[in-house]
Structure 1
Amino acid sequence: MGAWVTRALRNFNVENRAERELSKMKPLSAPRHPSTKSLLQEQMSRHPEIEGEIARKDDKLLSLLRDVYVNSKDPVSLKVKDAGVLQESKEFRLPIGHHFEMMNIKSIPKGKISIVEALTLLNNHKLYPETWTAKKIAEEYQLELKDVNSLLKYFVTYEVKVFPAKDKKALQPK
C-alpha cells in the first residue's frame, strides 16, 4: 500500500514538471575575474575574429571524434605469468622446530617468521638473554638485525603466575 502511494505522488504531473524544467534558462558560463576583464576586452578589441573562432564548431574535428572507438581488454594470461615469476624468485627457508609437523607449513619466506617461531625466540631471549642475543636470533631465523632489535624491544611474552591461596575458603586450582 505504501509503495502505491509513493509511486502515485512521484508520478503526479510528470509531463508538466519536465516541460517546466526544460523551458528554464540554461546556466551561463562562470563569471570572469575582475582583474582579467580589462585584459579580455583589450584582446577582443584588437582581434575581433577571436570571438567568432570561440563560437565556431569545427566539423573536421567533430567527425574525427565520432570515429574514435576505444576497445580495451586486460591481458589475463600475462598477469598470471608475472605473478609466477615473482613468486619463484623469492627465497624460502625451512621452519625451525618440531612443532610444524602438525601444520601444513612447508617453507617460510626469508625475512619472515611464523607466530610460533616468534613466541619461541621471545621466550628463549627472555630465559637465556646471554646466549640468545639479537645477533644470534637474526642469524638463526635469517632476519635483519634492526627488525630483531625492534621485536625484542616492543614485544614480550605473557607470564602466568599463580599465587597460592592464603585463605582456606578460596577456590583451589585443579
Structure 2
Amino acid sequence: MGARVARMFRNFNLENRVHREISRDKPRSAPRHAVTAAQEAPSSAGASEAPESMNEKNAPLLDHLRSLYVESTDPENPQSSKQEKGDEAERRPLQYSIPLDQLGLVEITDVPKGKLTLAEALKALSSYQQQPKTWTVEKIASEYSLELRDCKALLHHFCPFRVQIIPPASAQTKRIKDS
C-alpha cells in the first residue's frame, strides 16, 4: 500500500513539471581558459597542412599493412572460430520434417552434419525398431551424417513406442485380468 501512495506523489502533476523543465533555459557551458582556447583554434598555416598529409599515400605503411594477417580466437574455446566456419559448409538437407507453418514457426531446410531434428530422430528410431535388419546402425549413421558411436548410443538408449508391463512384486498383489 505504501508503494501506491509513493507512486501517487511521484506522478502527481507530472505533465506540468515536465513542460516546466523543458521550457527552462539551458545552462551555458563554462568559458574556456585562454591557453586551451588558443591551442584548440586552428591556425591558418596548420589548417592547410593537415589535409595534404592525410590525402598522401604512404607506400611503406601500405606495404606493411598488406603483409599483416590477423586471426582472432576465443580465449575460452580456441577452436570456436574454426568450428563456426566448418559448420556453415558442413550442412545437409533435411530429409523428414513436420509442417510448422500451421504453428507459426519457420520451417528448417537444412541441418548441420552430426545433428538430427526431432522428426528425423523419431523416423530413424521407428525404422530401426520395425526393420532392424535393413536399417542397421551403419546405414542410419550414413543416412543422417552421424558418427557411428553417436548413432549406437541413440539407438541403444532411446526406444520409442515400446510398452512394458511390469509384473507385480508378489503374488498377493491384485492384477487386472485380461478379458
TM-score by length of 2: 0.40
**Which of the pair is proportionally richer in helix?**
1
Greater radius of gyration (CA): 1
TM-score by length of 1: 0.41
